[in-house]
Amino acid sequence: MGFLNPLFLLAGAAVLVPIILHLFYRQESKVFTFPAIRYLLRTEREHARQIRTQQLLLLLLRAALVVLLVLLGARIHVPGAGGSHDPTALALVIDNSLSTTIIQDGRRLLDTLKAVARQSVASASHDDIIWVVRAGTPWEPAVPGGVAQARNVIDATMPAHTYGDLGRAIERARALVGQSELPDREVHVFTDLQATAMPEPPLASEDVPIVVFGVPSSGADNLGIEGVSFGGGIAPLAGHRTEAAVAVAGDPAGDTVGVRLYIGGQVRAAGRTPPGATVLLPAGPFPAGRVEGHVEIDADPLTADNRRYFSFTVRDPTPVALLGPASIFLSEALAVLAESERIALGGAARAATLVSVGGEGLERRGLTQSAVVVPHPDPARLPALNRRLAEAGIPFRYGPAAAGGARITRSDIAVDLGDMEIRRYFRLSPTGADPGVDGGTASSGASPEGTGTPAATLSSGDAWLLAGTTPAGPYVLLASPLDEASTSLPVSAAMIPLLEWAIERWTGGGGGIGSVTSGTNFRPPPTATQVRDPAGNEHQVDGDQPFLATATAGLYRVLAGDSVLDAVPVNPPARESDLTPASVRSVRRAIPGTREVVEGASSWSRHIFRAGRGPEPWRPIAILILALLIAETIVAASRRLRSRAGSVEVGGMQDKPGPREGPRPGGTAPNPAAGG
């Protein structure tokens, strides 16, 4: 509570006037000579009681009038929203991620969030500084401005097919208002309360108050496309049929949904699948070259995740050379791939991939050739293998053999390796590490001279398959020899697919369908001059810098002049399809400092700028003063009427005694109870 004219409160001393009058007021007594003395005394007592009650009521009414007049003159106000406030540093966080594009009640959810954000701007004053932070497009600058600038930024906010990281956006907003020197700070968040967007772990607690406006999405049973791959992640062969595996995300309890495959703008295959399952659609055969298209499912209120784009290169059989003393299993597996025309076995000079046993021939590897290295079963040959790896520029070495019994616990390979048994393997460690210390594992995937990432990791934490690239060329390293004594892989169905994956990882379209998540960047080739986005807009690029403007899903064509170098599919993040809302309790836990979580747009203005000055309640005070004046007039008039009526009644009884009643001897008054 506060006052705009606090000095006027000194007028409150006037409340003493009715109190003093009440205390010192004395009614003059009149002596009446009346025969019925007992009746008169009883009547006088009742009349005095009524007078005291009326006097006390008049005292309270007049004191209340003085107090209300003083409060009205002092311009009382209470803290809260709806009125003016001290200059405030205000940050508006608008969630414009993919999930806010859902249609609810015939309106896009983002439009509702923007409408409520305009209420915050309408309640702001011209002394405030306002930032607008977009959670779905965090790379866009947040420039401080006034009311008009903030309203323009809100109106210009467009939906993005990206993940809305509320935690990072709120931290950024708190940092922006924290640098201001204004007396008050506040952050307003406008979101769909998507559970996957809540920060985990929770944000650090700060003093900046946060008010959240949340509209829970009604699309908890939303369907979307989680992924699409061709040929198990390996680029299809020219002239061969293949299959597109389309994974549909959603509640498995729902009905089936239609799935369609588009290539070149035409439907090439269609099918139905229940949500939460994967459907296989026939595709091809394709000629050699690039293939572009998309898959889609039946539309629902959130349409942005119902389509997924792809682009891949149809390849000819990859030339492969086998070097070194290969086991019968490895030789036969390569022969099967050659008979099915998936690879072409030949000499090392023309090979795109070298399959090297024990490191044989690595010293002759060209810069355009990839290498698949399989260790020899004999541990005595490890020094020679490590020497050849160093000569080839591969920054890893093989260490002593480890005991068996391990299994694959994590794999990034599109081949099921869960049932494979590892009986013996050699530990892989970066060059320069001591393989005798903690096993010298390469589970971190980092190396001092190049990059190497574990594509398959054992239960012991050791890498079983490493894939990486160096200036000397790409490589794949296996930790186990491909024989029956070392692993069950050679006699399993996974042998040929795994070998093909290792060969084709760096050839024939980059090892599968390349896809970029919306909101993340990709690096164009050095010869690229511009990138054409799905809307047809061309962005000039520098081949040495990543391309950042990937907020919209679709195919981004990389150009060198008029020539198309590549088509990059950009797809929305799968977690944006999960529209499960967060509870108010979880929001408060994830975002410390949250003062209110408001779900109704009509009540939003009552919860913001609470540290400021609320409205002046002069209208109800004025109405109350008028009512008290009327009540005081009625009570005062009633008192005068009663006093006059009492005087007339008493006077009549004194001057006009009854005809049968007169003075008696002794001056005693007649007893009225005796009936005269």
pLDDT at site 435: 43
Cα angle 171, 177, 179 (rounded to 5 degrees) comes to 105
Burial class (CB in 10 A: 0-12, 13-18, 19+), 194: buried
Q: What is the pLDDT of residue 417?
A: 85
pLDDT at position 659:
45
Tokens 């030789």 belong to 331
Q: What single-letter DSSP state applies at residue 660?
A: T
pLDDT at residue 327, rounded to an integer: 92
Inter-CA distances, 101 with 50, 105, 162, 168, 279, Å: 72, 13, 11, 21, 27
- What is the C-alpha to C-alpha distance for residues 571 and 556, in angstroms, rounded to an integer? 11
Is 427:399 a contact under the CB 8 Å cutoff? yes
325-342 pLDDT, tens digit each: 999 999 999 999 999 888
Q: For 179-196, what is each residue's pLDDT tens digit?
A: 999 989 999 999 999 999
Cα distances (Å, whole numbers) of residue 393 to 191, 463, 477, 499: 50, 19, 13, 23
User: How high is the pLDDT of residue 579?
Assistant: 92
Q: Are strands 88-94 and 129-134 parallel, antiparallel or unpaired?
A: parallel
Among 515, 518, 534, residue whose Cα is nearest residue 575:
518
Comparing 418 with 157, which gets the higher pLDDT? 157
- Residue 337 and residue 345: Cα distance in Å, rounded? 9
Q: What is the mean pLDDT of residues 283-288?
A: 90
Q: Where are the domains of the chain?
A: 2-78+617-672, 88-220+579-606, 221-315, 318-504, 515-571
Whole-number Å distance between alpha carbons of 180 and 664: 99
Q: Looking at the domain 88-220+579-606, which fold is it? A: Rossmann fold (3.40.50)
Per-residue pLDDT, 14: 74
pLDDT tens sequence across 120-141: 999 898 999 999 999 999 999 9
Q: What is the pLDDT of residue 176?
A: 96
256 close to 234: Cβ distance less than 8 angstroms? no
Same fold flag, 221-315 and 318-504: no
Considering the four listed CATH numbers 1.10.1040.10, 2.60.40.10, 2.60.40.150, 3.30.930.10, the one that applies to the domain covering 221-315 is 2.60.40.150
d(CA 283, CA 236): 10
Confidence of residue 592 (pLDDT cuts 50, 70, 90): very high
Tell me the pLDDT of the chain averaged across its residues: 83
Residues 577 and 545: beta-carbon distance below 8 Å: no
Please tell me the distance from the alpha carbon of residue 356 to that of residue 330, in angstroms, as a whole number.
Answer: 11
pLDDT at 166: 94
Pair 498, 489: CB distance under 8 Å: yes
Whether a cis peptide bond, with omega within 30° of 0, leads into 282 is no
pLDDT surpassing 90 at residue 64: no
Average pLDDT over residues 588-594: 93
pLDDT in tens, 385-408: 999 999 888 999 999 888 767 888
pLDDT, residue 460, reads 87
What pairing do the DSSP bridges indicate for beta strands 421-422 and 406-411? antiparallel
Q: Which long-range contacts (CB under 8 A, 24 or more apart) does 415-419 make?
A: 415/232, 415/494, 415/497, 415/498, 415/501, 416/494, 417/456, 417/489, 417/494, 417/498, 419/488, 419/492
Count of alpha carbons within 13 angstroms of residue 468, beta-carbon side: 25
Range in 98-102, 172-176, 365-369, 500-504 with the lowest mean pLDDT = 365-369
Determine if the pTM surpasses 0.85.
no
Q: Per residue in 606-663, pLDDT tens?
A: 888 865 555 667 788 888 888 888 888 888 887 666 666 555 554 544 444 444 444 4
* Arch. (CATH architecture) of 318-504: 3-Layer(aba) Sandwich (3.40)
> Which residue did the predictor score with more confidence, 321 or 234?
321
**Residue 512 — pLDDT band, cuts 50, 70, 90?**
very low
- Per-residue confidence (pLDDT) for residue 513, from 0 to 100: 38
Tell me how far apart the alpha carbons of residues 629 and 641 are, in angstroms, rounded to a whole number: 18
Q: Is the pLDDT of residue 278 over 70?
A: yes
pLDDT the model gives residue 132: 97
Q: Which has the higher per-residue pLDDT, 46 or 536?
A: 536
Split at pLDDT 50, 70, 90, the class of 116 is very high
What dihedral angle (degrees, nearest 10) is formed by the CA atoms of 491, 497, 502, 504? 150
Q: Among 14-28, 287-301, 661-675, whose mean pLDDT is lowest? A: 661-675
Average of per-residue pLDDT across 231-257:
85
- Residue 657: the pLDDT is 46
